[in-house]
Amino acid sequence: MSNLDILKLCYLLGSLSFIVGLKMLGKPDTAKKGNFYAGIGMAIAILGTIFFHQNGEGEKIGNLAWIFGGIAIGTIVGYFAAMKVKMTQMPQMVSLFNGMGGACAALIGIVEMDTHHPEAFGERFIIFLGLMIGTISFAGSMIAYGKLEGKIKDVGSKFQQIFNNTFIFAIIALVGYASYDVEFMSSNVIWIIFGASLIYGVLFVMPIGGADMPVVISLLNSFTGVAAAFGGFLYDNQVMLTGGILVGSAGTILTVLMCKAMNRSLWNVIIGAFSTSTSTGKSTEGLSIREINATDTAILCAYAQKVTIIPGYGLAVAQAQHTCHEFEKVLEEKGVEVNFAIHPVAGRMPGHMNVLLAEADVSYDKLKEMDDINPQLPNTDVVIVIGANDVVNPAAETDPGSPIYGMPIIKANTAKNIIVMKRSMAKGYAGIENELFYDSKTRMLFGDAKAMLEKLIAEVKAV
């Protein structure tokens, strides 16, 4: 078997492992194995490239010390960063790693253009496009990271949308023309495309609301996939092609699925429609809220038969998932049946809340999906909404003028008693009033989620 055959075999194994791994990642029972297989496949493809790859002139891979040095640094930093990150900060981390991949694709384009000065239209076009998409993905991911960390605010206007669209068409036109006309701006054009794409990446993510970042990350994820596939085109490299396209298409579908879970279109997310919406819900003037204290809440819960907890991002922000599990346990000791109702977009990414609660040892079968829990809520004695807002807003069902109208919600308002644990009366991410807070069955329990849950635990124990 020649070196080339071995390399092709490595790439075939790599591609297969990506497909099988991704498929297995889609099922709870096999997900972990799937991730492992994909990792092994990746290692085979990388090692195969290092030892068996030859370019057109039959030269093997050189600069091995540099390559292994780079891999060693990347492995150590990547491993510790991934192990150290808190579960609540997972989305930021994914965004950061995604940006690294995009930057890697961009650098490949720059080096190729600078060293080989290709003149064929196809080759130039592939390099420029890969550079453009990789750079946008990198810049966008960094902004998404900053937003999730709360360091960057949403900035955007109608004007900026128009500017953004014009700008991206200008970049694409430049890419097309510079591929066609080799003389055009000579060797500077690659840097101009790089710089313009950087700026576009920033402008693209800037106006999108912080709550929509998961959708954006998923979209940028598929961008990086496409950028990797362009690398595959360039080197006629099968594993880069299959891996890149697979992620590109899977990422796009995943993005659409996430949008569907919020009942919004991708376009609607990108133009940041929440911020430009006119209706902010029915006026709640003249309506009053009623407060409850920890002692009364504890008594209400301890003597209930069924309690359902509806957690939102506020729970994660307060780092209260462990305390929440404690609270669940003390109630269960009193003979109360406790469940968690998880909205598909609770947390910062779809499924994020499940990860956070699972980390706190909450049993998997206590986490109920929205469609399973909604029919049970009318028989539920107490629902406790902790740090969630829009996902329990009845306006999604009753007010066609509301920006969240049509979004599936957890029907907390159908339960017998509703306790809403919040820090203040601040609005949710959609920036709209929540009628649920003014419902006659609702009592507000103001305070930090973690401190309040600790109080509740003590009070329930004392009952």
* Contacts of another protein in 222-251 (CB under 8 A): 222, 224-225, 227-229, 231-251
Chain positions 134 to 173 lying near another protein, rule: CB under 8 A, are 134
The stretch among 30-38, 160-168, 282-290, 453-461 that binds another protein (CB under 8 A) is 30-38
Task: Report if residue 123 touches another protein, rule: CB under 8 A.
Answer: yes
CA 149 to chain CA centroid, Å, is 13
- Indicate which residue of 390, 399, 439, 448 is catalytic: 390
Task: Report if residue 122 touches another protein, rule: CB under 8 A.
Answer: yes
Rg (CA), the chain: 26
Residue bearing tokens 């991934």: 82
Task: Report if residue 36 touches another protein, rule: CB under 8 A.
Answer: yes
The stretch among 54-62, 157-165, 392-400, 443-451 that binds another protein (CB under 8 A) is 54-62
Chain positions 372 to 391 lying near another protein, rule: CB under 8 A, are none
Which of residues 140, 350, 387, 403 is near another protein by CB under 8 A? 350
Task: Report if residue 83 touches another protein, rule: CB under 8 A.
Answer: yes
The whole-angstrom separation of Cα 18 and Cα 15 is 5
Task: Report if residue 12 touches another protein, rule: CB under 8 A.
Answer: no
Task: Report if residue 263 touches another protein, rule: CB under 8 A.
Answer: no
The stretch among 89-97, 300-308, 392-400, 431-439 that binds another protein (CB under 8 A) is 89-97
Q: What angle do CA 438, 444, 446 make, to 5 degrees?
A: 135
- The Cα-based distances of 383 to 52, 80, 111, 169 in angstroms read 61, 39, 58, 50
Nearer to another protein, 176 or 431 (CB): 176
State the amino acid at position 89 in one-letter form: Q
200's CB contacts (< 8 A; 6+ apart) are 136, 139, 164, 167, 168, 171
Enter the tokens of residue 358: 């699972």
Q: How far is the CB of 344 from another protein (least distance, A)?
A: 4
Size of site (CB under 8 A) for another protein: 127
- DSSP 3-state assignment of 375? helix
Enter the tokens of residue 253: 């579908």
Q: How far is the CB of 122 from another protein (least distance, A)?
A: 3
Chain positions 289 to 328 lying near another protein, rule: CB under 8 A, are none
Nearer to another protein, 11 or 437 (CB): 11
Pairing between β-strand 442-446 and β-strand 306-311 as defined by DSSP bridges: unpaired
User: Which DSSP string do the residues of 152-193 spell out, in sequence order?
Assistant: S-----HHHHHHHHHHHHHHHHHHHHHHH-TTTTGGGHHHHH
Catalytic residue list contains 154: no
Choose among 17, 18, 9, 26: nearest CA to 246: 18
Chain positions 392 to 411 lying near another protein, rule: CB under 8 A, are none
Catalytic residues: 390
